[in-house]
Amino acid sequence: MFYPEDLVEEIRIRNDIVDVIGSYVKLQKKGSNHMGLCPFHNEKTPSFSVSSSKQMYHCFGCGVGGNVFTFIMEYENYTFVEALKSLAGRVGVNLPEAEYSEEAKRQASLKTKLLEINKEAAKYYYYQLQQKNGQAALNYLLSRKLSENTIKQFGLGYSNKTGDDLYQYLKHLGYDDGILKESGLITIDKSKVYDKFWNRVMFPIMDVNNRVIGFGGRVMGDGLPKYLNSPETKLFDKSRNLYGLNFARISRKPNILICEGYMDVIALHQAGFKNAVASLGTAFTGLQANLLKRYTSEVLITYDSDEAGTKAALRAIPILKEAGLSVKIINMKPYKDPDEFIKALGPEEYQKRIDNAQNSFLFEVEVLEGEYDLSDPEQKTKFFNEIAKKMLNFTEEIERNIYIETVAKKYNIGFDNLRKLVNRYGAQIVVGQTDIKRVAEPAKKKKREDGMKQSQKILLTWFIEDTSLFDKLKGIIAPEDFTEELYEQVAQMLFAQYHTEHKVTPAKIINQFESKEEQNEVASLFSTEIPEDLGEVERKKALEETVLRIKKNSLDVKSKKAIENNDIIGLQNIIREQADLQKLHISF
């Protein structure tokens, strides 16, 4: 894809990275940067850094990094063109018709074809449900009290018992084996071809733009697995999507209901609760929590009321809270799930359960209570100790005291007694963290990057933070002195950018790299932590030592190459440079 570079750069500049990422992630100013919880991995301590001056981000925990384009691409699962259009729309820039490179054409064509295939498959499954072969599947859906309108709204269908039924249909439409294999709907082995789904009620999975990106299938009969999802494809990543969100996001409700399965979502929507979604056959993820955060500030968990559902709710609560969402739990007892509850008692009673949804922390305490015999003094003491530990999750003292007061009142324990217990555990954690830090220091040192690579990363970061170094180190350090291949490539771009524009823009350089891995590594080269508390003398000394270390290593590498190539003249020049290096004094 070819948009003029100056237009791409204009869109990047007009989309301040702190503003853009701040609309997805809660950021707090810390020094010259903004910090937040990384949206790409679960963490409790913020390690995700966003730099306003560099217009880039970097996570010191999982290593992801890039500029505003790469963030949108990664977070939204967009191509570069989709991210560019999204950001252009955000700042009111009209994009001209674009010219496409062959690779961009191939990628765009692939995604378009996969969307076409999924749409055709959804239409085919829906058609089959209405035929004689699909009668049993249709009867199953009607027995679950689904109306014809609901079946149509969710595009429910049926995959025939024939092993290559869909394959033959899609081949008839002109799709070749290569693209059909990419769709995840068809399995192609050397000896045979067969459909991924057969003899199943089919649930099309749509993204927030109502495009079919995958499928779920419930087996008819006793086959296993009972539910089967599409494999991950260029379109479908189950950790990034939620079933029913395409409808729930426009429900205009003050919250979103999270269920366990397809049928629960559909039953709730049919009963008038248009704000229900479900995770896709996997444990709830941080990416799904962040996805919900775009559309609501409060989530109500309505998982199954059995032991498995309770455990799933306990796992989801901290993930949702880390995303900054308020969480409540809906009690459906004595019924198992929302579908069963509504069939038995109706929507009005379910609404009452919503209105009386339980605070998630008090739900956790209630579950914990079930693990202890409170009539036994020893068990009761252990119970209060566990509650005290959980209270430490509240970092705000006022909030913590309110919960201490609530729990103390419910379990008839003195407020001061419970607060002292909480404070005691808090003190133990502080001491423990100090001890862990002492023990962990040697292990941490062992895991540190190779010293020379780290020195080169530090110097690259230093160059972008103090551009006067380009002139001060002229004739001493050049791009070829960075001996790591990627580092040298980045240095070439950085030096060229400075000499052309008399400034450096790290975010612009990241655009030159296509793979996610390279973008992450390039971002890390510009995000090496340099101690901010260094005095002027210490800073100059550290910088001089870094420069001399890198130059010496560069000459050593060149010397070895000269010896290998039997380059006598080149070796003599290198030896002279090595001798001059001993007398070099850098003036800062």
Q: What is the pLDDT of residues 376-408, one digit of tens each?
A: 999 999 999 999 999 988 888 899 999 999 999
Mean pLDDT of 210-215: 94
pLDDT beyond 80 at 436: no
Is pLDDT above 90 for 326? Answer: yes
- Quick one: pLDDT band at residue 439, thresholds 50, 70, 90? very low
Give yes or no for a contact between 81 and 63, defined as CB atoms under 8 angstroms apart: no
pLDDT given at position 157:
97
**Mean pLDDT value of segment 149-158:** 97
Question: Measured between alpha carbons, how far is 49 from 44 in angstroms, rounded to an integer?
Answer: 14
Mention every residue, 6+ apart, whose C-beta is less than 8 A from residue 470: 463, 495, 498, 499
Query: What pLDDT shows up at residue 443?
Result: 43
The mean pLDDT of 272-280, rounded to a whole number, is: 94
Q: Compute the distance between CA of residue 188 and CA of residue 192 in angstroms, rounded to an integer.
A: 6
Section 562-588 average pLDDT:
75
Provide the residue count of the chain: 588
Q: Are the CB atoms for 46 and 32 separated by under 8 Å?
A: no
Q: Inform me whether the pLDDT recorded for 433 exceeds 90.
A: no
Residue 82 has what pLDDT?
A: 84
Q: Does residue 100 register a pLDDT over 60? A: no
What pTM does this model have?
0.66
- DSSP 3-state percent helix, strand, coil across the chain (nearest 5): 55, 10, 35
HSE at residue 488, side-chain half, CA atoms within 13 A, is 9
